A and B are shown apart, each in its own frame.
Chain A
Amino acid sequence: MARGFDDRAIAWILLVAMVVSLYMVFMYVPTEREMGIIQRIFYFHVPLAWISFLAFLMVCIAGIQYLRQRSRWWDALGTSAAEIGVLFSTLVLITGSIWAKPIWGTWWTWEPRLVTFLILWFIYVGYLLLRAAAGDDERKARLAAVVGIVGFLDVPLVFFSARLLRGLSPVVFTRQGAGLAPPMLWTLLVSLATFTLLFVLLLRQRLFLELARDEVESLKELVP
């Protein structure tokens, strides 16, 4: 029987962490000299990007594990991670656009990392569409696992090709964040921890929902 995950402790810690990161982002950290106030969105944008990437990695691992073990749990984990990944990468694209408008003077630009996230967004929206259309559970889990694995293996090539699109040399990796002043780095790290906690909470709740749904289905069959 699927028990409700008791996440009250996580939720309370998260609440405190959110207040602390909001304080750090808006009060503690100094305003960046060249970009001004808009640079503060960076403390939301970057953690969101890292965590959606982590979510898509989980979809891939869950897919591999599902194909090996055929357990419903891995499939449920895959779909939960994919949904949160799509949500977070949507926010990545939106916050990226909001940042790009004043800095680059345009809502959208074919910057390699932005393009990579756009393509990732399409791949995992496709994953969710496939799940909605795949019919019975075993087939849904199996096909989704394949798409989850293939989609993630595509990421390095997508990034490489997005650099080609801009005519950039594909070998240079810009290391944003490497030259951050200590207060900025701390703010980023606290914000990252907060978003990681949010991800864990959402993932556990979503996973519970998925397993509870199964249980409702199996209980329905008992009713004559």
Chain B
Amino acid sequence: MGRAILTLLWKDLRVELRTKEILTTMMVLALLILVILNVAMGQNVVTVKLAASGVLWVVFTFAATLGLSRVFLVEKERGQLSGILLAPMDRSAIFLGKMIGSTILVLLVEAVALPVFVVLFNFPLGGRVGPLLLPLFLGTVGFIAVETLFSAISAQTRLREILLPLLAFPVAMPALVGAVGATAKVLDGLPLQSAAPELQLLVAFDILFVAIGLVVFEYVVEEE
């Protein structure tokens, strides 16, 4: 199974490196939302300090949703999904391959959006970058696990990508609560230990939804 996952992952990343379609659209949307939120909130230092964590996660989740909605549509449009499904391997390998690939792309978007946020909102991070990595990573993994599963579902419906956020956001709410909470504590300069309940919630969510994805994915991609 390990090799199947790596092959799929490598294939997806190579396609993405050649077209850069998903990465570019996600990046541009992330920057646009940063600008819009900046315009909407104004430059007040106190407001920015209070809203920083929320701003970051709104940017990450919306940008990620835009990218994730394409992940399975692209395969369907080019008729590749049938090929992958015919390959003699476990269906859960497809889920993991897609999930890891999308997580890498979204983490790249975050790596660009975070410095832009610092500049646009005049919000220097100082020494908080290190502790910030853990909530960012855990939150992204949980969110992407949910979105990967629902992306495969919504791609099969008439509404296509429009349905993805409607299905995924409510289910991913615990991950968002944990991620926003933990990020806010780190940005407030509190030690990472103070965010233990949030981080525990995130770890539980990540484990549960990766496991759920592995189990139910075979039912999602039965036909085609």
Contact = CB atoms under 8 A, between A and B. Distances in A.
Contacts of B198: 164
Contacts of B156: 134-135, 139, 143
Interface stretch (A15-23, A41-49, A123-131): A123-131
B205 interface: yes
B219 A67 contact: yes
Given A129-B166, A135-B158, A164-B197, A158 B173 contact: yes
Contact of A150 (B169, B171, B197, B223): B171
Contacts of A154: 171, 174
A146 interface: yes
Contacts of A143: 153, 156-157, 220
Interface string B179-214: 001000000000000000110010011001000100
B173 A119 contact: yes
Nearest to A145: B219
A152 B116 CA distance: 38
A146 B166 contact: no
Contacts of A150: 149, 171, 212, 216
Q: Is the interface of A mostly helix, strand, loop or mixed?
A: helix
Contacts of A133: 157-159, 163
B6 interface: no
Contacts of A162: 177
A152 to B, nearest CB: 10
Interface string A105-124: 00000000000000100110
A147 interface: yes
B157 A157 contact: no
Q: Which has the most chain B C-beta neighbours within 10 Å: A134, A143, A151?
A: A143
Contacts of A72: none
Contact of A123 (B171, B204, B216): B171
Contacts of B223: 138-139
A130 B153 contact: yes
A146 B223 CA distance: 15
A149 interface: yes
A158 to B, nearest CB: 6
A133 B157 CA distance: 5
A134 B157 contact: yes
B201 A157 contact: yes
B222 interface: yes
Interface in B134-188: 149-150, 153-154, 156-159, 163, 166-167, 169-171, 173-174, 177-178, 181
A30 interface: no
Nearest to B198: A164
Contacts of A145: 219
Interface of B: 149-150, 153-154, 156-159, 163, 166-167, 169-171, 173-174, 177-178, 181, 197-198, 201, 204-205, 208, 212, 216, 219-220, 222-223
Given A146-B216, A154-B174, 19 more contacts: A119-B170, A122-B169, A125-B166, A126-B170, A129-B163, A129-B166, A130-B157, A133-B157, A134-B156, A134-B157, A139-B156, A143-B157, A146-B149, A150-B212, A151-B170, A154-B171, A161-B174, A161-B177, A170-B197
